[in-house]
Amino acid sequence: MLNPNVLVLKLQHGVALTKADREALDLSCARAQRERHRVDIIREGDEPDAVHLVLDGLACRYKTLSSGQRSIIAYLVPGDFCNHHGDVLGTMDHSIATLTACTIVQISYKTIEYLTANPRIARALWWATLVDESISREWLVNIGRRPAGQQLAHLFCELLVRLKTVGRAQHDSYRMPMTQDELGDSLGISTVHVNRVLQQLRQDELITLQDRMLQIPDVKRLAAFADFNPNYLHLKNRRAGHVAAASARALQDSGELVKERAVRMPLP
Amino acid sequence: MLNPNVLVLKLQHGVALTKADREALDLSCARAQRERHRVDIIREGDEPDAVHLVLDGLACRYKTLSSGQRSIIAYLVPGDFCNHHGDVLGTMDHSIATLTACTIVQISYKTIEYLTANPRIARALWWATLVDESISREWLVNIGRRPAGQQLAHLFCELLVRLKTVGRAQHDSYRMPMTQDELGDSLGISTVHVNRVLQQLRQDELITLQDRMLQIPDVKRLAAFADFNPNYLHLKNRRAGHVAAASARALQDSGELVKERAVRMPLP
DNA sequence: CGAAGTGTTGAAGCAAATCAATTTTCGTGG
DNA sequence: CCACGAAAATTGATTTGCTTCAACACTTCG
């Protein structure tokens, strides 16, 4: 198990948790498994008998079209659930695969039931599900309406924020292990075009990309270029008290990004 | 209020409900309001103080880019919730607007709390949320990977199934009130292109479209063309006992469409 | 050291965007 | 009921972002 627990780190951005809550969540992540690079965790048509959670590494949701083409629907970073729907939906309508070696923990429905008897935890898991849905919606906008360069920039901004909330990114850089092929399958553009657009982003000094490390010289500038507004990630809890939270807040507070209204302060 | 209650009609496709459950849901839809054509129900940045539900008409979720462009993220048909997240997320990250005149009911958080004390209803609402998320994911695939003609065809298939489950479509046709402009904003393509692609679909006799009525001469053929597989709508409850359910089942059973595995039969 | 995977480059072609004009439909009030 | 204006649909011409195909270079690693 990892310390600090990424699930706790993440959920604290949605709901204020007590020490006991955190310990309960932490405990339920005890029996993690290591998964290899590029393997399916769950396949379309499966009926998983436990909730899977990514503790380390990068995974993705994807669907395969009848043409054989792959469409990557979401990235799963540490703290993200693979199948938060439990047994309500029955069969999976898509697959989950690792993109790097991953640490995955399976949490039985029994344990989930026990955890969600606690209303704060129930609310936190509900929050996590809703944020995932919100991310899908933002991806729809991204893919539907933005040109390739801005799509990539937007994705990079999103990952910066999401990885920071779980302590997996520095203030302006993080490890970005996806291949250009995988980026293309995420944004619905060809590998060749990903390559060319990345070069353009580098030439414009919006990013640097070396040895799989993505560095963003001027986060505000990249965010402005991508029309990135982190509201949709709903990181509203400022009391999380972790470095990650502070960084996320810094980004959120950075003038240009927040357009709508002040982020709500939770109860003391 | 409408008879039969569309919310009940819809939820029965996810979870088997008792007569008492149905009556409770029905009651909570009592005080509906009529909304005009093309008005915002909820705006980005709002913090709604009740859950809004569409009982009649067609609405959409949308986001506005900084360029002023609109991106339609979802269609809301009768039985769909505008803001199922309650107060967990706080501010709305997108807006909801009517596309036709609509009947909308507001259900207070108090009432939702009361309803979800019932585990079957809680599960049904959870199911509805998860299906919405699943639809977003399928839209991502659609927009990301399919050419315009198939995108439109896929959307038409989805709406046929969704409208049938709430008794708002005949076996092969329904009222399709969206303008070509709105269709374009949903799929990320220009109005002009929507127009040309629709003509092609008509010429290929995949659809007929007259006076806002969409008719599909051969549903299987259109579904095959669009690579449409209704699994992602998770309509698993075959006991709903309504005409709508029967039609949806017929489509689901139609050989080509179901690729994965049999739909799970609920308990008797 | 070789093989496989990943990244890079060039050339040609196409799906879709854009711009601009025209026709048709629809809503509304006279 | 018709006339009018606005909204929606349609068409043509031109441009472009992106795809496709193909070849090649670099990296990684057994």
pLDDT at B86: 81
Q: Which residue is nearest to nucleotide D9 (CA to C1')?
A: B195
What gap in Å lies between CA B181 and CA B191, rounded to an integer? 5
Predicted TM-score (pTM) above 0.75: yes
Nearest CA to A248 out of A150, A157, A130 is that of: A157
**A141: chain B residues, CB-CB within 8 Å:** 63, 65, 71, 73
Q: Which residue is nearest to nucleotide C6 (CA to C1')?
A: A179
Mutate which: A11, A88, A229, vs B, most B CBs within 10 A = A88
Q: Do you find a cis peptide bond into B4, omega within 30 degrees of 0?
A: yes
**Which positions of chain A have pLDDT values less than 70?**
1-3, 237-268
Buried-state track B45-57, b at ≥16 Cβ within 10 A, e below 16: ebebebbbbbbbb
What gap in Å lies between CA B236 and CA B223, rounded to an integer? 19
Buried-state track A36-48, b at ≥16 Cβ within 10 A, e below 16: eeeeebbebebeb
Strand D within 7 A of A149 CB = yes
Q: Protein footprint on strand C: which nucleotides are under 7 Å from a CB?
A: 5-11, 15-20, 26
Compute the C-alpha angle B233/B239/B245, nearest 5°.
Answer: 50
Nearest CA to B115 out of B5, B237, B26, B238 is that of: B26
Is pLDDT at B4 greater than 90 in this prediction?
Answer: no
Q: How far is CA B102 from the centre of its chain?
A: 14
Is pLDDT at B267 greater than 60 in this prediction?
Answer: no
Q: Which residue is nearest to nucleotide D27 (CA to C1')?
A: A211
Q: Protein footprint on strand D: which nucleotides are under 7 Å from a CB?
A: 7-13, 17-22, 28
Which residues of the protein have their beta carbon within 7 Å of strand C?
A: A 179-181, 191-192, 195-196, 198-199; B 147-149, 188-190, 192-193, 197, 211-212
Is pLDDT at B125 greater than 90 in this prediction?
Answer: yes
> Are the beta carbons of B55 and B31 closer than 8 angstroms?
no
Q: Which of B69, B136, B141 sits opposite A133 (nearest CB)?
A: B136
pLDDT at A208: 97
Tokens of A43: 């396949």
pLDDT at B155: 98
Tokens of A154: 């937007």
Chain B residues 173-212 with CB within 8 Å of chain A: 187-188
Q: Could you read off the pLDDT of B140-159 as tens digits, one per residue?
A: 999 999 999 999 999 999 99
